[in-house]
Amino acid sequence: MTEFSLASYANKPLAECTELELFNALLSLTKDAAAEKGYNQGKKRLYYISAEFLIGKLLSNNLINLGLYDQVRAELAEAGRDLAELEEFENEPSLGNGGLGRLAACFLDSCATLGLPASGVGLAYHCGLFRQSFDKNKQYESPDYWLRWGQESWMRRTPKHYTVNFGNLSVTSTMYQIDVTGYHSQCDTLNLFDVDTVDERVIKNRINFDKSQVAKNLTLFLYPDDSDEAGRILRVYQEYFMVSNAAQLMLDECVERGSNLHDLADYAAVQINDTHPTMVIPELIRLLGERGIGFDEAVQIVRDTCAYTNHTILAEALECWPLSFIERVAPQLVPIIQQLDAFVRGQYEDDFVQVIDQWQNVHMANIDIHFSHSVNGVAALHTKILEDSELAPFYKIYPEKFNNKTNGITFRRWMVECNPGLNKLVSGKIGEGWKTDAEQLEQLLPLADDPAFLAQLDQVKRTNKQTFAAWLAAHQGTVVDPDSVFDVQSKRLHEYKRQQLNLLWAIRKYQRLQMLEADELPKHKVTVIFGAKAAPAYTIAKDIIHAIICLGKVIEADPVASKYLQVVMIENYNVTAAQHLIPAADISEQISLASKEASGTSNMKFMLNGAITLGTMDGANVEIAELVGEDNIYTFGDSSDEVIARYKRGDYNPRSYYEKDEELAAAVDFLTSDAMLAQGDATNLNRLHDELLNKDWFMTFPDFADYCATKAQVLKDYEDREAWQRKALVNISKAGYFSSDRTIAQYEKDIWHLR
């Protein structure tokens, strides 16, 4: 094994290097070290196709996985330099949005670590997801030029090119590649496709651009605004471009490894991550046809090769494209999709399971379910809801295809890297084995009765809160008190995740503080911290952000209340922010409307880092509750069965709750109070108020009272520091199940069979 020394990658003493020079030296060093480790190889390879890979910054992660972190840090320190300074310098790749994309990144880490030959396949977005900033208490979006700043990139250009034919033009792709380092193991790769003609200069202002020039804008942004037709068609262009490249790459590589294509399923497993890559199915059938394989056999080969993961039961997220869009983007797929439709029609009458509906819309998930061999949900409850209600007609046809794969997270990034204090404390007690065998964390359980250890745990949390406070102050000038309770909700902004419920709680808390006598005031201040981006065209989500920021200002201006309560919104929440925030959290808010959150993965990250969950019995919260027991989690709210029944009845009326509960009414009405209007915009605040009062589609009102009562209990229990840390310890000890190594081992065993 080569001894890697950073000094040998710089052409002057490290002390004299600029940040850019040091960063580039570190890039070269990690590239060489990864190359020396080599790549996972094998006859059969996984192709994980995904619109998002939310990989986060790579410098520290790669150094940790390659086993070079301590050494490089020491070498830098000797030269008076700090690795943290270079982490700040590195740009976070803007290649994803939320849990779906972060899951894909965790999965690649686990595949590499477990020695599975795997390739991620996606798009090399130039600006990816927008950068969020706040102005006049509102969200503004601007392009995230993550590839600029003169940095060398982790992404290397390869000589691989493919032709992708669209209806109106033909483009030549270029494949870029990012090494996926495994923990003390060989590497896998993330393959990202782009077109050389894409031109960032077509961006006009903020994130607006000319949507008609596909060759120039194809890979500019992740999820281009789909509120108009041009935006929706662009999404279809992106999807076809992604899967056509994926299919060509995969067929080439399989032939290289010895496949005669009839036996493709022995050489490749394709995982379709949500519906965005669905067109890989007809595209593979088409390409196999071009290479002389008949339609029926091609369908069978593709079915044996492909598997589909469903990540949501929200109807809006199950894509459905007009056939006319596909006709424009990829006319060559239309006869194939029609044949698949005819095939299904020939066998099943139920309208629900058809590929093309009577309005000539193509149901992407339906293609996935009929023409892949596995359909999985991402948490036990989610899979059950798919089987029993959302996809019940399919489950009746194909019970054998359905299976559950509860999500997971990589502990290398979500503890070793982001929480060095806890990593040291844990490893000091039980050794390092848990990093690749996460269930070993259970060895910590006996320490629940060790007050000295619990005090150390408390100390680690306290330090993390200080570190986070310093980062936040530097990052956006917001000052928070590390002695307060950090009550955190960070995730995409969506009504079903119910940031608005937390907001209503904060309003109620504020109103109560105004009424309390001095001797009744709470002991600990509560800092409610939100991190969330709203989709640019999602009006109500943006109104919720506006209301949160306005409330923060109202409270800040109140000399008494501000001593006991603060509401903070992190600007541009992303993986980097999450790595600072999650280790500092005391309370993990997982308050989605039961039945709506497929799994959630921040719930797992918070748990691993010793935060206590306050949540509904939804998604993976249910499994967390089973693992830690009722003393170590706070649950509230209507069950998924009750919620599903209420939707079915269709008789939910938010006003009836508003009229019965004075405190709820006061909190809702505060949204349009003079105090709020003095900070904010009447249009936004009135709209949110009316939306809640008249629609409240995600049923915050029925859960409000229980949420408030449960949260009061959480805050009361927080006062007993030792008992609280005991709960934290149980959560950490039981988090092993949520390692993505476990999830990936199950995909391998049940679906992929790579080995």
Binding site for ligand CR1 (CB under 6 A): 98-100, 103, 274, 311-312, 317, 378, 407, 597-601, 619
CB-based contact 233:328 (threshold 8 Å): yes
* Closer residue to ligand CR1 (CB): 104 or 513: 104
Closest by CA position to 158, among listed 120, 118, 191, 199:
191
Q: How far is the CB of 406 from ligand CR1 (least distance, A)?
A: 10
**SS3 of residue 135 by DSSP:** strand
Report DSSP letters for 661-675, one per residue.
Answer: -HHHHHHHHHTTSHH
Report DSSP letters for 583-649, one per residue.
Answer: GG-SEEEE-PPTTS-S--SHHHHHHHTTPEEEE-S-TTHHHHHHHH-GGG-EE-S--HHHHHHHHHH
Backbone dihedral region of 613: left (phi > 0), alpha (psi from -120 to 50 degrees) or beta?
beta
* Closer residue to ligand CR1 (CB): 107 or 510: 107
Q: How far is the CB of 309 from ligand CR1 (least distance, A)?
A: 7
Q: How far apart are CA 218 and CA 202, in angstroms?
A: 11
Q: How far apart are CA 574 and CA 587, in angstroms?
A: 19
* 184: annotated active-site residue: no
Partners of 404 in the beta sheet?
377
Q: How far apart are CA 408 and CA 595, in angstroms?
A: 19
- Given the residues 219, 305, 601, 616, select the one marked as catalytic: 601
* Closer residue to ligand CR1 (CB): 317 or 625: 317
* Closer residue to ligand CR1 (CB): 34 or 541: 541
Question: Distance between terminal CA atoms of the chain?
Answer: 27
* 605: annotated active-site residue: yes
Q: How far apart are CA 753 and CA 269, in angstroms?
A: 8
Q: How far is the CB of 52 from ligand CR1 (least distance, A)?
A: 8
CB-based contact 363:318 (threshold 8 Å): yes
Q: How far is the CB of 311 from ligand CR1 (least distance, A)?
A: 3
Residue owning tokens 């070993």: 440
* 601: annotated active-site residue: yes
**SS3 of residue 459 by DSSP:** helix
* Closer residue to ligand CR1 (CB): 59 or 190: 190
Q: How far is the CB of 652 from ligand CR1 (least distance, A)?
A: 22
Closest by CA position to 145, among listed 213, 221, 216, 53:
221
* 753: annotated active-site residue: no
Q: How far apart are CA 153 and CA 503, in angstroms?
A: 40
- Given the residues 44, 533, 605, 726, select the one marked as catalytic: 605
- Given the residues 491, 508, 726, 734, select the one marked as catalytic: 491
Closest by CA position to 275, among listed 230, 243, 297, 231:
243
* Closer residue to ligand CR1 (CB): 101 or 552: 101
Residue owning tokens 């009504």: 495
Residue owning tokens 């992740």: 222
Q: How far is the CB of 626 from ligand CR1 (least distance, A)?
A: 17
CB-based contact 488:529 (threshold 8 Å): yes
* Closer residue to ligand CR1 (CB): 317 or 448: 317
In a 13 Å sphere around the CA of 706, the CA atoms on its Cβ side amount to: 18
* Closer residue to ligand CR1 (CB): 177 or 310: 310
* Closer residue to ligand CR1 (CB): 635 or 679: 635
**SS3 of residue 159 by DSSP:** coil
Closest by CA position to 486, among listed 460, 512, 464, 459:
464
If one counts every other C-beta atom within 10 angstroms of the C-beta of residue 466, the result is 13
Q: How far is the CB of 389 from ligand CR1 (least distance, A)?
A: 17
Structure tokens, 349: 């009458």
Q: How far is the CB of 105 from ligand CR1 (least distance, A)?
A: 11
Q: How far is the CB of 715 from ligand CR1 (least distance, A)?
A: 26
- Given the residues 44, 435, 492, 494, select the one marked as catalytic: 492
Catalytic residues: 311, 491-492, 497, 601, 605
